Amino acid sequence: MLDERAITIATDYWAAHLGLSSAELFAEPLRVIPHGNAWADYDGAFTLFRDGSVVASIPAPRIEALRSRLERLPLPFSPDDLARALAAIATSVVGPARIAYPRKLRPPAHPARALLATEHGAIQALRDACDATQWDHGGSCIDQPCSGVFLGSQLVALAGYEIWGSTIAHIAIVTHPDFRGHGYGRSAVAHLTMRALAAGLLPQYRTLESNIASIRIAESVGFESFATSMAIRF
pLDDT digits (tens, 9 = 90+) for 4-40: 999 999 999 999 999 999 999 999 999 999 999 999 9
pTM score > 0.75 for this model?
yes
Which H helix or E strand runs over 109? none
Residue type, 114: A
3-state SS assignment for residue 16: helix
CATH of domain 102-226: 3.40.630.30
Band (148; pLDDT cuts 50, 70, 90): very high
Q: Which residues make up the CATH 3.40.630.30 domain(s) of the chain?
A: 102-226
Q: What is the mean pLDDT of residues 120-137?
A: 94
**pLDDT tens-digit profile of 56-113?**
999 999 999 899 899 999 999 999 999 999 999 999 999 999 999 999 999 999 999 9
Band (116; pLDDT cuts 50, 70, 90): very high
Q: What angle do CA 76, 2, 170 make, to 5 degrees?
A: 90
Band (234; pLDDT cuts 50, 70, 90): very high
End-to-end CA distance of the chain: 36
pLDDT for 1: 85
CA-CA distance, 38 to 56, in Å (whole number)? 13
3-state SS assignment for residue 82: helix
Contacts of 71 (CB under 8 A, 6+ apart): 30, 32
Q: What is the mean pLDDT of residues 138-146?
A: 94
